[in-house]
Amino acid sequence: MDRKIKVVIAKLGLDIHWRGAVAVSRLLRDEGMEVVYLGNQFPEAIVNAAVQEGADVVGLSTLGGNHLTVGPKVVRLLKEKGLEQILVVMGGVIPPDDIPLLKKAGIAEVFGPETPIKDIADFIRKQVGSRIAS
Amino acid sequence: MSRIKLFNEKALELIKKEMVRWENEILKDKGGDEDYFTESGIPIKLLYTPVDISELDYLQDIGFSGDEPYVRGVYPNMYRGRLFTVRQLAGFGGPEDCNKRIKFLLDHGATGVNIVFDLPTIRGYNSSDPEAEGNVGQCGVAIDSLEDMEALFDGVPVDEISVSLVTHLPSVSVALLAMYVVMAEKRGIPLEKLAGTTQNDFLMETTIGSAPEILPPRHSFRFQCDVVEYAARNLPRWNSISYNGYNLREAGTNAVQEVAIAIANAIATAEELVRRGLPVDSFARRMSFFWDLCNDFFEEIAKCRASRRVFYKVMKERFKAQNPRSLLMRFHVQTAGITLTKVEPLNNIARSAIQALAAILGGAQSLHVDSFDEAYSAPTEEAALVSLRTQQILQTETNIVNTVDPLAGSYYVEYLTNEMEKRIFEYIEEIERRGGIVAVTESGWLHREISNYAYEQQKAIETGKKKIVGVNYMRSEQQEPEIEVFRYPETEQKQKAKLEALMKKRDNAKVKECLEVVREKLKTQENIMPYVIEAVKVNATLGEIEEVFRQEFGLWQFPLT
């Protein structure tokens, strides 16, 4: 039997805008995923939580401008632990020019404001769904 | 007092009778009332008549501007006497960068500034703290020390303009207000001349802000009251608190909750200060409020009018305030960032202008108009100028500022005003039944209320029940527009270098001594402000002062899952 996709969602660093992250957490649950919302955390703690929870996906939310410095750090730390299979996605207010830089750094996708939850859920299912079913 | 109703019984009977005829013969089945609600869930009828406000007593319920119950506005001649303050946010980079933006806005006719701080400053960390990485000078200005505060306001006439320090947390309000006061003293400006606002709302620390590092609600609330008390004794023109409905709304509340939560906090503050021995008239006149005006045009106007009547009743009936100025609710408005879209960003100019119009019709004392590029970055200079110009167009070209409260007497607006007032009081009562604003924060009840609203709203957008132009309605086919994005100047290294130099040249023994005094005083009931001011004078940094708070009071887990 298929297990649920497990997503860990965190506000990245000091950013205080939690509305989007909480709404997305609850909506992904409605989409049938298991979601752990960490609140605000720094990269080390996010990665530790991802390990502990056995996460398939790490979702990072930031509207605070720290995406370029702190976001890639999460990817790097996962890699150091040999966990590059964990999908890292990001949401928030991200200037368009920064998106290619984030992708280059290993963030699989960046979801801006107004992204329908279906798009986020479909993307996640497509990326990790087959792995879970197998 | 007996009530003298605005409409006589005979007229009302006739209207009711005629309305039945109208419904049956003319309207027939074209009404469809069941599907229409305001944003906060008040049913909207097709048509309002005197019957909907049949209980209204003009003099008791509405009255005149600058007179009880202040529904029509807080000043007798309103905008003819003083236009609302054109107050645009400024804050990015280091203090030297931000100083230039302040001067740019003042040179283009702004009459006050709102200083926003970067996240490390907002959360009480120095720019050199590891936790600050990536956030220094982003989304706000970095302030680490008195020297930074001096650089921020270098050449800015702080004795002439009003300055709002958007300090969010009370603990940070304590430190930054201390720096502001010392900066002014060093320039020889008497404290009586300082006009402005500190945000200083403990809900920003405990409800709207979040983990990992926040002070427990009780201690945060104490600092909030310390600032109010200090200002009541020393800064006669300083609004010591701006009860922040805005961020509650942005995080996830409706208009009724926004006002009710803010006033519940005002009630708790007033009770605490009275307990500390201050007469209500010594501080109530310096409490101010901060509203978020979203897209439901009439509900927002009604909210502004109703909130003034609620505050008036609370201060008059509950706290027995005598001074008329204690009874006035003055408020700042910012247009709603949450309503702005990333698609077709120029549409946001229309949204913001409509919200700004509602603010003026609602009688706001000051206004910030959001910039159209908000979903991309902090505003570019061009976008900031469009916002400023929007305000100036409303002030000078539309004639709407020349008469007071022009929507008074509208059956719909008066009905909505009554309904909002009723619902605001009910929600305040619910908070008090649960132990008051500090208790509902500690229990996480408030967080759940906010989270539930945000979730329901998002679901309504996902299902198309709530329509947003260009997003889920008339969906934009436009490619991602070319939009110039604001880039923050490099700040982290500069701030770190300044901090290092400061640590070398200051008297570190004195700093330590002052911080120890702060630590000792935290264990007492004494107001902390004077001791923090002494620490600031010897160049204790923001992060050092906050660290003492954190060590003494510990951190609080944000009850949100």
Distance CA B269, CA A32 (A): 44
> Of B109 and B413, which is predicted with more confidence?
B413
Q: Is the pLDDT of residue A134 over 50?
A: no
Burial (0-12, 13-18, 19+ Cβ within 10 Å), B481: middle
pLDDT at A1: 45
Distance CA B82, CA B99 (A): 26
Q: Is the pLDDT of residue B34 over 80?
A: no
The model's pLDDT over A58-105, given as tens digits with 9 standing for 90+, comes to 999 998 788 998 899 999 999 999 999 999 999 998 888 899 999 999
Where in chain A are the domains? 43-133
Here the tokens at position B137 are: 């000078």
User: Of the candidates B361, B366, B306, B305, which has an alpha carbon nearest to the alpha carbon of residue B334?
Assistant: B366
Alpha helix positions (H), B139-216 = 146-152, 170-186, 202-203
DSSP B317-359: IIS---SGGGS--EEEEEE-GGG--SSSTTHHHHHHHHHHHHH
CATH architecture of A43-133: 3-Layer(aba) Sandwich (3.40)
Is B454 within 8 Å of A27 when comparing Cβ atoms? no
Minimal CA separation from A119 to chain B, in Å? 11
The model's pLDDT over B445-468, given as tens digits with 9 standing for 90+, comes to 999 999 999 999 999 999 999 999
Residue whose pair of structure tokens reads 């430190």 in the numeric block = B175
CA dist list (Å): B197 to A84, B101, B112, B279: 48, 19, 11, 21
A113 interfaces chain B, CB cutoff of 8 Å: yes
Is A22 within 8 Å of B135 when comparing Cβ atoms? no
Q: Is the ipTM of this complex over 0.90?
A: no
pLDDT at B152: 97
Mean pLDDT on A97-121:
94
The order of strands in the sheet holding A109-111 is: A34-41, A6-12, A57-62, A87-92, A109-111
Mean of the per-residue pLDDT values for chain B? 93
Give the nearest chain B residue to A95 (CA atoms). Answer: B376
Q: Is the pLDDT of residue B29 over 70?
A: yes
Phi/psi of residue B469, nearest 5 degrees: -60, 130
A123 interfaces chain B, CB cutoff of 8 Å: no
Mean pLDDT on B231-245:
95
A101 interfaces chain B, CB cutoff of 8 Å: no
The model's pLDDT over B55-101, given as tens digits with 9 standing for 90+, comes to 999 999 999 999 999 999 999 999 999 999 888 778 889 999 999 98
Contact by Cβ (8 Å): B289, B245: yes
Minimal CA separation from A14 to chain B, in Å? 6
Domains recognised in chain B with CATH numbers: 59-440 (3.20.20.240)
DSSP-based three-state secondary structure for B463: coil
B7 interfaces chain A, CB cutoff of 8 Å: no
Contact by Cβ (8 Å): B419, B303: no
Contact by Cβ (8 Å): B199, B150: no
Here the tokens at position B509 are: 């023994």
Q: Is the pLDDT of residue A124 over 50?
A: yes
CA dist list (Å): B111 to B74, B227, B360, B523: 20, 25, 16, 41
Residues 227-266 (B) with a CB less than 8 A from some CB of A: 250-252
Residue B133: which of A26, A30, A70 has the nearest Cβ?
Answer: A70
